[in-house]
Amino acid sequence: MAENRDDLDLINSFKNGEETAFEGLVFKYQDRIYNLCRHMLGEPHDADDAAQETFIKAYKNLKAFRPEASVYTWLYRIAVNTCIDHKRRPFFESLFKRSSEGEDFVLERPSDSPSPERLYESKQTGVAIQLALKKLSDKLRTVIVLKEIGGLSYEEISDVLDVSIGTVKSRISRAREELKGLLKEFMEQK
Amino acid sequence: MRCTKAKRLISPYMDGELDSGLKQSLESHMDNCGSCRGELEGAMKLHDLFAQPVRFKAPYGFATRVMANAASDKKSRGAWIPVFAKFAETIVVLAMVGVGIISGTFLINGAGPENRGITSSFSLEIFEPVPPGSVGNAYLAMTEVRHER
């Protein structure tokens, strides 16, 4: 709630003509939005494009933002829609894509100073999750990424996707069932 | 509670999205059902995979690029004014050239016999290769005399 208060202060400053206030929002949410796009799209340059586009759309529509909504839910909604649009882009554009799985993994808590083995294991897990996510349908991938990566509640996911909580619940259950099958061998090795 | 219902509730249970009544009935069911307990353990294992502290970070300079793109987007949104100005400028120049051509054509075609003198005075035919009384004319006269000899 306090987080949203800070966000609303930034938005109000922006509405009053303080352009740098938007930069504050970008700094605050850039990693979360990029991380979401990266898990939704798989490729770093696609994620970069989609995350950039998300913030540009937010910039254009910030003046129309309703204060009763949560800023990150609103940003997530824009990001999800942008990622879905990105996936629908023409085939010839995908010909120029390069693959670079796992290249920009970073530790969320660098102070943990993990051992190289632990870091390697984390990277392996990240790659396995990404490959499994790629095999899910867009609908199932979106809900599971919002839940497990974004850490959103069912209510927030239903708000982002504009579907009922029951739909969110059943999609998350289905996504987990499919992921269990896809990651079965990987989980058995661990 | 039946196993089919219990298995459907495992996912929201894990996410803390069950109300207390359903939560209690599921827990008491799992106390007596190894299969459903196994389901929960499998789901927890998957959940733990996602809980690894590795995340992707936005590339270096991301925010700077966003702000630069936002600024250029803002400029391009206001760019209709200079575009309109350029368009108007081109129209004015074309109109001036058009007026010039039309009035020139009118002057030439519209010249009657009374104006012929004026028109012919502008004709290049009145000009001689060398104006009379000039140094060039004197030179030509001398060379002609020399040729005659």
What average pLDDT does this structure show over A52-68? 85
DSSP string, B1-60: --HHHHHHHHHHHHTT-S-HHHHHHHHHHHHH-HHHHHHHHHHHHHHHHHTSSEEE-PPT
- Tokens 């000899």 belong to B149
Residue B123 located in a structural domain: no
Most confident of A20-24, A111-115, A137-141, B141-145: A137-141
Q: Please say if the pLDDT value at position B121 is more than 70.
A: no
Residue B12 located in a structural domain: yes
What average pLDDT does this structure show over B36-41? 87
Look at A183 and B69 and tell me if their CB atoms are within 8 Å.
no
Nearest chain A CA: its distance from B35 CA (Å): 15
Most confident of A65-74, B12-21, B91-100, B113-122: B91-100
pTM: 0.67
Give the total number of structural domains in chain B: 1
Helix axes A20-41, A116-135, angle to 10 degrees: 80
Residue B74 located in a structural domain: no
Residue B20 located in a structural domain: yes
Residue B64 located in a structural domain: no
Using the Cβ of A52 and the Cβ atoms of chain B, whether some distance falls under 8 Å is answered with yes
Query: Which amino acid would we find at residue A71?
Result: V
Look at A30 and B66 and tell me if their CB atoms are within 8 Å.
yes
Residue A99: the pLDDT is: 45
**pLDDT tens by residue, A23-57:** 888 988 999 999 899 888 888 888 899 999 999 99
3-state class of A106 per DSSP? strand
Residue B26 located in a structural domain: yes
**pLDDT tens by residue, A113-169:** 556 676 677 777 888 888 888 889 989 999 999 998 888 899 999 988 989 999 999
CA torsion B118-B123-B129-B135 (nearest 10°) is: 30
Residue B33 located in a structural domain: yes
> In terms of CA atoms, which chain B residue is nearest residue A120?
B54
Among A107, A147, A179, beta carbon nearest to B15: A147
Structural domain of residue B40, as residue ranges? 3-51
Residue B100: HSE in the Cβ half-sphere, 13 Å Cα cutoff:
6
Nearest chain A CA: its distance from B3 CA (Å): 15
Nearest chain B CA: its distance from A64 CA (Å): 16
Distances A13 to A18, A19, A41, A101, B116 between C-alpha atoms, Å: 5, 8, 33, 39, 77
Residue B88 located in a structural domain: no
Among A122, A153, A173, beta carbon nearest to B52: A122
